[in-house]
Amino acid sequence: MMVESASETIRSAPSGQNGVGSLSAQADGGGGAGTAGTAPAAGRDASGREAASGADSNGEMSPAELLHFQQQQALQVARQFLLQQASSLNSPGNNDSKQSASAVQVPVSVAMMSQQMLTPQQMQQILSPPQLQALLQQQQALMLQQLQEYYKKQQEQLHLQLLSQQQAGKQQPKEALGNKQLAFQQQLLQMQQLQQQHLLNLQRQGLVSLQPSQASGPLQALPQAAVCPTDLPQLWKGEGAPGQPAEDGGRQEGLDLASPAATATSFASPPKVSPPLSHHPLPNGQPTVLTSRRDSSSHEETPSSHPLYGHGECKWPGCETLCEDLGQFIKHLNTEHALDDRSTAQCRVQMQVVQQLEIQLAKESERLQAMMAHLHMRPSEPKPFSQPLNPVPGSSSFSKVTVSADPFPDGLVHPPTSAAAPVTPLRPPGLGSASLHGGGPARRRSNDKFCSPISSELAQNHEFYKNADVRPPFTYASLIRQAILETPDRQLTLNEIYNWFTRMFAYFRRNTATWKNAVRHNLSLHKCFVRVENVKGAVWTVDEREYQKRRPPKMTGSPTLVKNMISGLSYGALNASYQAALAESSFPLLSSPGMLNPGSASSLLPLSQDDMGAPGEPLPSNGSSSPPRLSPPQYSHQIQVKEEPAEAEEDRRPGPPLGAPNPSTVGPPEDRDLEEDLAGEDMS
């Protein structure tokens, strides 16, 4: 019977994770939403392109509209890019196939957000500065490219129409023809002004300017660049040609650089995207281009230099004309590389090059992420994590060997999804990347010491732990305590504790044998866990004083620990709640690391305080609700009535337990020692 019920509950644990289930389902749903989100985005994009082509064919879209559209489209692309980034980051090594955009799981938040309109600020929050940079540049590049394509088509079309009309115009009334030609020419002019403005804008943002050396330098360094370096010259030469046909007056006018273009205002939007970049000191973003562009050679230092001029020669792609000085170069630039079709075409090619490089960069970044994930997170073997690997009982020594060999012998294998997830998208809670899986199983304790933040940390990241197959950085003891304290009654049966573990941590959903054993072991071993016989069985409670007692020793000397803790928390978890907790909590450790010698600590802690400190966490401390009976603070103690041994006595010294089974009440204040002694004696 018991057995059945027990196993039932355990089995229901997974299903009992229904509660969790809903959450993990959320996550899954998130993934689904992510993929689903991709589709719509693509759809929009596609439709956008259709619209574009429609505009092309009709030639009826005004430049302003076009711009707006282009920006929208760029945003879509950005969104897609975001999704890809997220998904690729999410999926560790598995997806070499770059098609990560497909069905990988996307963090819920990202997926959800990306489904709606993302403001630059939002994107900024989601993406790291480098990513933002790349994204923005890609966006700009795309806009420019599309603009230019559009311009080109328009021009060609206009020329065609012009030609045909000139021929046909012989028979037509001169006025009509003149009007139409005028209209065409005006349109053309307008377009070219737009184009010019756009180019200037981009140049101002440093996007265009970086082109020159890109073609020759960095590109070759990239092995798999889609554009083969050797192709570039041909590209340049070849691209120059198409521009040539347009040689008539219309273009001449368009080339006029002098036109200050009142249209400038319409371009206000693109630049506004850039501001966010400025305050990112990160070396990665802009630099990906800028730094690579300049080999820190001559022109870096001289502010008077020109990005297209270096080493005494023109860096315009495919040019390499030697120029004595900057002035000569400027002259050369204005004459040879004026804003004409050829230059535009070359610019376009450069855009493509940049795009390719960016894609390449993205791929390489992805690879890097995967590598880091692999190295940091321990081997992410493609094992199906569904199967709990059961430690074969019987080969104890053997298993131990394996343990030492493999940092995480147990279930740590990650499903392709979760492994990388922690790396970036979802903040692996209190752990810096380094400390993440520091090493074997035991390492978590480092975090544990600061222990109580566990609650806030958990509160902050419980979503993460729920879904990510990451071992929580807390000791079993602290976890158990947390589980117990989270309940209104502050008591749990063993089974409920199990359930809590599985509910709260994906990691504990498998490999049950080991951690359950560990839980039992901890419950029995630590004095801070008190077993209370209940009508319906036995429940476990926490003796906060005991719990507090055992910590001090460790923490004492290591400010680094505190620092780590804080930094770790600050990562994602440091928030108001934590700070508040820190502030109000009587937690001696946190508030003043100095006063921790066990003796004083324990003595200093009257129950009330103790209680406060214990729940260094928000929830229970507010005792307002929970305490049905007795003085709020006391639970743990009173309940702890537990068994006969001397243990009981000391804790309740502050407040006598209930009338219940309290045997040897009288415990000298320092029983603590006695207890331990007793424990030792008992053992022997």
Say whether residue 284 binds DNA (CB under 7 A).
Answer: no
d(CA 192, CA 159): 14
Give the interface segment with DNA, choosing from 54-62, 110-118, 275-283, 402-410 (CB under 7 A): 402-410
Q: Would you say 223 and 286 are in contact if contact means Cβ atoms under 8 Å apart?
A: no
d(CA 504, CA 479): 10
Say whether residue 439 binds DNA (CB under 7 A).
Answer: yes
Say whether residue 383 binds DNA (CB under 7 A).
Answer: no
Say whether residue 520 binds DNA (CB under 7 A).
Answer: yes
Say whether residue 206 binds DNA (CB under 7 A).
Answer: no
> Which residue, 1 or 221, is less far from DNA as judged by CB?
1
d(CA 496, CA 5): 12
Which residues, 615 to 654, sit near DNA by CB under 7 A? 643
d(CA 36, CA 117): 15
d(CA 607, CA 626): 17
CB-CB neighbours of 606 under 10 Å: 14
State the amino acid at position 662 in one-letter form.
Answer: N
d(CA 483, CA 485): 6
CB of 684 to DNA, least distance (A): 6
Secondary structure of residue 31 in the 3-state scheme: helix
> Which residue, 427 or 550, is less far from DNA as judged by CB?
550
Say whether residue 437 binds DNA (CB under 7 A).
Answer: no
Give the interface segment with DNA, choosing from 85-93, 250-258, 483-491, 553-561 (CB under 7 A): 553-561
β 537-542/529-534 pair status:
antiparallel
Say whether residue 448 binds DNA (CB under 7 A).
Answer: yes
Say whether residue 553 binds DNA (CB under 7 A).
Answer: yes
Q: Would you say 198 and 204 are in contact if contact means Cβ atoms under 8 Å apart?
A: no
Enter the tokens of residue 308: 């297209």
> Which residue, 26 or 399, is less far from DNA as judged by CB?
399
> Which residue, 78 or 648, is less far from DNA as judged by CB?
648
Secondary structure of residue 461 in the 3-state scheme: helix
Of the CA atoms within 13 Å of residue 122, those in its CB half-sphere come to: 15
Residue 540 dihedral angles phi and psi, to the nearest 5°: -110, 140
Contacting DNA (CB under 7 A), which of 150, 515, 571, 587? 515
> Which residue, 59 or 438, is less far from DNA as judged by CB?
438
Contacting DNA (CB under 7 A), which of 312, 432, 537, 669? 537
Contacting DNA (CB under 7 A), which of 410, 543, 544, 649? 410
Alpha helices in 433-539 (DSSP H): 433-436, 445-450, 453-467, 476-486, 494-504, 512-525
d(CA 320, CA 326): 14
Q: Would you say 330 and 336 are in contact if contact means Cβ atoms under 8 Å apart?
A: no
Say whether residue 493 binds DNA (CB under 7 A).
Answer: yes
Say whether residue 6 binds DNA (CB under 7 A).
Answer: yes
Say whether residue 567 binds DNA (CB under 7 A).
Answer: no
Q: How far is CA 449 from the centre of its chain?
A: 27
Say whether residue 450 binds DNA (CB under 7 A).
Answer: no
Give the interface segment with DNA, choosing from 22-30, 194-202, 400-408, 565-573 (CB under 7 A): 400-408
Say whether residue 563 binds DNA (CB under 7 A).
Answer: no
Contacting DNA (CB under 7 A), which of 15, 53, 265, 395? 395
Residue where the block lists tokens 């978890």: 573
Q: Would you say 192 and 341 are in contact if contact means Cβ atoms under 8 Å apart?
A: no
d(CA 395, CA 267): 72
> Which residue, 2 or 535, is less far from DNA as judged by CB?
2
Say whether residue 79 binds DNA (CB under 7 A).
Answer: no
> Which residue, 340 or 448, is less far from DNA as judged by CB?
448
Give the interface segment with DNA, choosing from 471-479, 585-593, 604-612, 615-623 (CB under 7 A): 471-479
Say whether residue 278 binds DNA (CB under 7 A).
Answer: no
Strand partners, 310: 313
Give the interface segment with DNA, choosing from 256-264, 333-341, 361-369, 444-452 (CB under 7 A): 444-452
Contacting DNA (CB under 7 A), which of 210, 421, 504, 518? 518
Secondary structure of residue 538 in the 3-state scheme: strand
Q: How far is CA 556 from the centre of its chain?
A: 34
CB of 412 to DNA, least distance (A): 9
Secondary structure of residue 532 in the 3-state scheme: strand
Say whether residue 566 binds DNA (CB under 7 A).
Answer: no
Strand partners, 593: none
Residue where the block lists tokens 């008077």: 304
CB of 497 to DNA, least distance (A): 8
Give the interface segment with DNA, choosing from 326-334, 366-374, 396-404, 654-662 (CB under 7 A): 396-404
Contact residues for DNA (CB under 7 A)?
Answer: 1-3, 6-7, 10, 391-396, 399-400, 403-404, 409-410, 438-446, 448-449, 474-477, 493-495, 498, 513-518, 520-525, 531, 537-538, 540, 550-551, 553-554, 556-558, 560-561, 643, 682-684
